[in-house]
Amino acid sequence: MPTIAANGTTLYYERRGAGPPLLFISGATGDAGHWADVADLLADQYTVVSYDRRANSRSSRPEGYTTASITQQADDAAALLEELDLAPAVVYGNSAGAMILTDLVVRRPDLLRGAVLHEPPYAGMTSGGDEIVVGLQQLIGEGMAEGGPTRATELFLRWVAGDEVYESFDADLRARMLGNGEVLFGIELEPILGYLPTSDEIAGVRVPCVVASGAENRDPSAPRHWFWEASEWLAEGLGVPVVETPGSHVPQASHPRELVAVLRPILARLAASSPVTA
């Protein structure tokens, strides 16, 4: 099982293929397995790396680890790139992983050739932000009452990804995801909901960025339209359009081949970008 010491913890990672480096950052439940299908498809052109975020799945939980921050998570990704000698790399972040990537873009542009930010959950910048947060808290509370963190994680995943996608997860991956509920709700969720880059930070980004959102979320009547709204907010700040990806919030699970088809020209352009210099 490949692991590496990075930023004061030990991270499990998976590495495939050869070519320009490409790192994937997972959102909630933080498991490298979210990217297995996409990574296999892209390994023909790229050195593809995914990893279990700290304290999730096969990565270690440091002693006394009771609080997290987006900055700490970004520092983990930065350390992983440096320890594996993959910088500068193209990095793709989904959901909370896109928040982590946002912080990495702002603070460590030297490590990146480009960034793909897929549906960062900046609920506070959407038309129904307060209702979204309240509804999520109620959902988690119901799950905790029914069956603790495991049940709460299942309800959360069904809410964010849909029942069909949840049922399609590989059994081993799903078991690991459900096992990460204590970390998700006890350590990670509050910093995720509280993180918001400033307009000056976004305007100052020098790394080539692509902001992406699921085609199914474009319609204002769609249940996950707020992800599209959040993506629009970030894209406007960066001065780029929103790129449509297939499906909804987790195309790497629901439409891996179609997602790769959309990504190939984007990744090729970003991989050819000159790294940012001081």
259-275 tens-digit pLDDT: 999 999 999 999 999 98
- 15 pLDDT exceeds 80? yes
Q: Give residue 70's pLDDT.
A: 97
Tell me the per-residue pLDDT of 31-62, one tens digit each, with 9 for 90 and over. 999 999 999 999 999 999 999 999 999 999 99
* C-alpha R_g of the chain: 17
Tell me the per-residue pLDDT of 97-153, one tens digit each, with 9 for 90 and over. 999 999 999 999 999 999 999 999 999 999 998 999 999 999 999 999 999 999 999
Residue 277 pLDDT level (bands cut at 50, 70, 90): confident
**Using an 8 Å Cβ cutoff, are 39 and 79 in contact?**
no
* Helical H segments across the chain, by residue range: 36-42, 70-83, 96-107, 129-161, 163-168, 171-179, 181-183, 189-194, 199-203, 225-238, 251-254, 256-271
| Separation CA 221–CA 237 (nearest Å) | 24
Phi, psi of 71, rounded to the nearest 5 degrees: -60, -45
- 276 pLDDT exceeds 90? no
| Separation CA 155–CA 273 (nearest Å) | 40
Residue with tokens 């987790």: 250
**Pair of tokens at residue 254:** 């629901």
* DSSP label at residue 188: I
Q: At what angle do helices 96-107 and 70-83 cross, to 10 degrees?
A: 70
Give the domains, in start order, of the chain with CATH numbers.
Answer: 3-123+195-271 (3.40.50.1820)
Q: Give residue 1's pLDDT.
A: 76
- 278 pLDDT exceeds 90? no
pTM of the model: 0.97
DSSP 3-state of 250: coil
Phi, psi of 121, rounded to the nearest 5 degrees: -85, 65
Q: What percent of the chain has pLDDT over 70?
A: 100
